[in-house]
Structure 1
């Protein structure tokens, strides 16, 4: 019989065989010393080489069969009709090869090492998750109808405690849903649809659509939960946080599939982020997404939903939001596509006697058709009606209805902000009203002019500043620039007038904008002495060293608007002196008074503002040369009395009683561009002779 060779950790030299009188099979218990540690292990293997293992195995007692356990199984009946007890399969207990050698401690150590090796590193987990996500995404893109369970598997990856795997799962679901979402909205199945018998293909399609909608809904819920977690910003490795990734996914879905289900849930994620006054990358991303949605919306329904949620949010916040949220209304397609006029609660629809309905449509001549032809025509009409309902395009009537409702919401928001005079949104509101001037009906026009007059009146008295000081402790707002707001009110008032039909406005409206003109005339001297006239509200302002308590105006907390005061002043003067409609209807007294005041103010203006003012004066003298020519010639003076430069009224200044002596000083201006502009202005006047 062959000897059994036991593997040893090292090769050892065998001792010579024992003599005939010696016992060749010592007991293993006697060979192993009763010590612990490395010495006992070394002695054990040293003595193991001299053992007679075969003889030891022969002398071990054999284990008999275990007693049969009582069977708890029920009897069975065989094919022959005999009732027999079911046999219990024997369970063989495997005996460890090392157990009888007394090496249990070594086995335990090896098991611990195997368990430690089974712990996968995080990097390996991420690589495995990438591969698995790629396989699932490829499977869904190839045949999504055959992989209904893959949607839940993708959702399970989003619940991973590992942040990297969670972000990978969100991005993978975004790519998958953008590719497989159909171009129509999936409606839920009612009881009638479930009871109706359909073909196998229809059942398969319905099961796929319901699985798609269910997985998509769970995905959007996960995005909403992560968007509110506050784990945004940038991590230590420069990667965006989970919140930023969730917001980015919601923005991408809203732009890619705005027609699909749960559009309102995506809009809620964006609007909730826009309600915060902290302007960061996620905030700008949401604002840009809403603007893109407005520009690309051909239906009108997504824009209506977004405007409704935004206006509701601003009202709940007391209109204490960033002005960029309100400026998203300037990207609506109705600004260029909508042709009706509206107010806060009414839309003026064109009557059938006007516009495209003016021409009467004649009834076509009746053509004789047989009964069979009439039946075919009737069936064709039914088919055409079904095709129109299934078509994704929207009719002009439906789009106009959606845009009219959107316009009313926009006007309601603008008018409420004007009434409460929200300091951080006045510039955006006035600019918006100027853009929407051609869509405002006559009823709303009168209310807006009264609101603008009230705003200018408060700017003159300074009541709004006192109100701001009272609420300063509750809410830290920037200092309101009432001068800029007054200029914006003047620009908006004249823009509203130009947006109305001139013929109808003269007949039905008693328009008098002299209030705005008089206020502009009074502020010319003060504006020329303003040191910040060439700075916008978004420019950086250094603190005043003589007034440490004055607020520091920075680009982060400026609220009014981005145009400089000089630009606003020039826009106001252009509306008053050179309006687009009926330019020759401007009275000579107004032209002369403003010309004198502007040339006097130009002596104090900075270089760039003075150049811009001279350009405006060149345009005025070229259009109204006959009305102001006498100001340059003392012999042609037509006024009597004395000129009052400090008069608060345009008519009370008596401008024709003076001359333009400021031109002689401006000829010697240090800027060559100013000197050239003065020469051009005088050529316009001298060209009359």
Structure 2
């Protein structure tokens, strides 16, 4: 039986209640419309629709992404994403015809939250450690990390900047190769190379560029002012430059690093950074094997000192005493000339008596061995001896030029360092330079005798520590003159070089009495003592001696040893000179302190053992050779008449309170009595 549709029923109006009007509503009973409907009645919707600008359909952007596979296994094209913003079809303001303005759409930039300084330092440490690990693991694949390190070093936080400088130092010391990277020329850039070579070139250029930027940053920071809180950026930059120069002196931009150190050494203020730069230069001089870094450093230091008119600390000049050429170089040089020894190269067949008989097989083997040795020498990466000698000879000429200029200028605070340096370099000085040096030394001693200490120059000098000790300078001149003489080959130069050091010997003889009365004869630069209240001319602090670190007694003993006990057998000391010095020293030892007296008596013991026959008459009154009287204050040795006197001071020295003095007197008398 078919289903019958339900009957549609009409909705009936509910019956009206009493008191209500069931008639249809009229306008009189309709309530007033609100403001919205009143305003809407005046709208001209058709006109507004006509004047509204039309918007065409936006072109759908084609997706360049590959299709994706859904979870159901269907391939579907990936939707277009524009900067992570989902495109909305419509806007809430479209219906009202009001267009969105840029000012309403743009969002206001949110201020970045301020990170505490402690948090910045921790984050910087972690980032630097991560980058350092990446670079140490594979620097060629992560060459861009050098720029990241440089960006971290530009932080406004001083501590972060210091950490970045130190991290870059450690990384560059690890990744820098053992060779110098040459800049690529245009022809080299145009050549076709393999992929590995091209990759290596790109890495090397990135390394050199980053390294150059790092050195520029160090140079800028090294000249900045110091800060009160901890080590300043300048100190950190100088320390990094010193570390690079010690670790990789062979690499590029060595001159820029040396300029940073030379700028610090040009100041007269000796602080921790100054000492660090000086020790770095000394290390470079000691560890230099090929001579090129030493030549660059000496050239830069000499230019710096010349520009400063040699107003530098004497320790800067003493760095020349650490050069390896002092022990390795064998040629003699002057300011502008090097005496290269002539090579005795025999060309042609050897004489018959010098030939060695070898079989045909031995000659063939020797020929093959020479070919192999020649190839090994060419393939060897070490610097040849000829190249090293050439570099060291140029360095030696620069050193001699600096020494001679300072001697001519008589710079107060550098005279001791120059004289000591010339004494050390005496065996390398050429005969042509020898005469000029002796004249300069005589000039210095002449100023010491007349008391002319260049007062006008000292008044212009602001530093109060540059007061000259002329007595010590004179002793150093004597030591240097005899060291120069011992460094010459007298047997070969006897015909061409007139060696007359009588001026220096006479000056030493005249100063013995004054030196014995000097109360500071045993004081060195490290000795602490008070000033003499009765001597207003003495400086307030005499603890720092700018001439030399050795005491006056040591300098006197070195001078006397050169005069009385010469090392050269060709130099014969006349008896009159030995007797005059022996008599004068015995009298001077009575006024000297204990240690100086022991040293002088010990020296006289060597003199009596070497020249006992020449001075035996001084200990025996019956063997007196001279007539007249002895003049201890005579200006000339020949006019003192020493053989007219006896060594009566020995009787007093026998009863000296020091056992060393008493034993020394017994040794002298034993040497003399042993002749009889």
TM-score (norm 1): 0.79
Shift of 1:676: 1.6
Name the CA distance, whole Å, in 2 between partners of 1:582 and 1:259: 46
User: Residue 643 of structure 1: CA displacement?
Assistant: 1.2
Deviation at 1:550, TM superposition (A): 3.9
2:212 equivalent in structure 1: 217
Q: Which residue of the other structure, out of 482, 485, 490, is the alignment partner of 2:470?
A: 482
Partner of 2:482: 494
Residue 168 of structure 2 is aligned to residue 183 of structure 1: no
Aligned CA RMSD, in angstroms, stands at 3.2
Task: Give, in whole Å, the separation in 2 of the partners of 1:243 and 1:451.
Answer: 41
In structure 2, relative to structure 1, the CA distance for the partners of 1:340 and 1:143 (3 Å cut) is same
| Unpaired stretches in structure 2, ≥5 consecutive residues | 1-51, 64-79, 93-107, 361-367
Equivalent pair of 2:612/2:672 in contact (CA under 8 Å): yes
Q: Name the CA distance, whole Å, in 2 between partners of 1:241 and 1:520.
A: 51
CA contact (8 A) 1:465 1:480 kept: no
CA contact (8 A) 2:630 2:645 kept: yes
Listed one character per residue, the Cα deviations across residues 290-348 of structure 1 (whole Å, up to 9, x for unaligned) are: 00000100011000000000000000001110111000101111111111100000000
Identify the match of residue 644 of structure 2 among 633, 657, 667: 657
Q: Tell me the equivalent position of 1:449.
A: 438
1:275 equivalent to 2:266? Answer yes
Q: Aligned partners of 1:615 and 1:147: how far apart in 2?
A: 71
* Distance (Å, rounded) in 2 between the aligned partners of 1:596 and 1:577: 13
Displacement, 1:669? 1.1
1:138 counterpart SS class: helix
Give the counterpart of 2:456 among 462, 467, 470.
Answer: 467
Q: Which residue of 2 aligns with 1:571?
A: 558
Q: In the alignment, is the contact (CA less than 8 A) between 1:247 and 1:270 conserved in 2?
A: yes
Within the alignment, does 1:619 sit opposite 2:606 as a pair? yes
- Counterpart of 1:296 in structure 2 is 287
- Who is 2:24 aligned against? none
Paired with 1:273 and 1:77, the residues of 2 have a C-alpha distance of 65
Mapped contact 2:521–2:552 kept (Cα < 8 A) = yes
Q: CA offset at residue 464 of structure 1?
A: 2.3
Residue 598 of structure 1, aligned match among 585, 604, 609:
585
* Maintained 8 Å contact 1:352/1:358: no
- Please list the CA deviations of residues 529-566 of structure 1 after superposition, one character each: whole Å capped at 9, or x if unmatched: 1111111245444233234564223445x311100101
Quick check: 2:235–2:273 contact (8 Å CA) kept in 1? yes
Q: Are 2:332 and 1:341 equivalent residues in the alignment?
A: yes
**186, 190, 199: which one pairs with 1:195?**
190
Change (3 A) 1:599 1:296: same
The answer for unaligned runs of 5 or more in structure 1 is: 1-66, 79-85, 96-110, 369-376
State the shift of 1:90 in Å: 4.1
Q: Choose the corresponding residue for 1:681, options 654, 665, 668.
A: 668
Q: Residue in 1 aligned with 2:391?
A: 402
Preserved contact between residue 184 and residue 392 of structure 1 (Cα < 8 Å)? no
Q: 1:514 aligns with which of 498, 502, 517?
A: 502
**TM-score after normalising by structure 2:** 0.80
1:476 is displaced (CA, Å) by: 4.0
Correspondence for 2:306: 315
Going from structure 1 to structure 2, the CA distance change for 1:158 and 1:364 (only over 3 Å counts) comes to farther
Structure whose CA Rg is larger: 2
1:157 aligns to what? 152
Contact 1:537/1:560 (8 A) holds in 2: no
SS for the counterpart of 1:407 is helix
Look up the SS of the partner of 1:145 in the other structure: coil
- Using a 3 Å threshold, how does the CA distance of structure 1 residues 518 and 94 change in structure 2: closer, same or farther? farther
Deviation at 1:624, TM superposition (A): 0.9
Q: Could you say which residue in structure 1 is the equivalent of 2:96?
A: none
Q: Counterpart of 1:144 in 2: which secondary structure?
A: coil
Distance 2:172 2:349 in 1: 48
Distance change >3 Å, CA 76–CA 662, structure 1 → 2:
closer
Across the two proteins, how many residue pairs are aligned to each other? 581
Describe how 1:23-422 pairs up with structure 2 within 5 A.
70=55, 90-91=87-88, 118-231=113-226, 235-236=228-229, 239-353=230-344, 357=345, 391-422=380-411
Cα separation, partners in 2 of 1:364 and 1:132, compared to 1, 3 Å: farther
Give the CA deviation at 1:585. Answer: 1.2
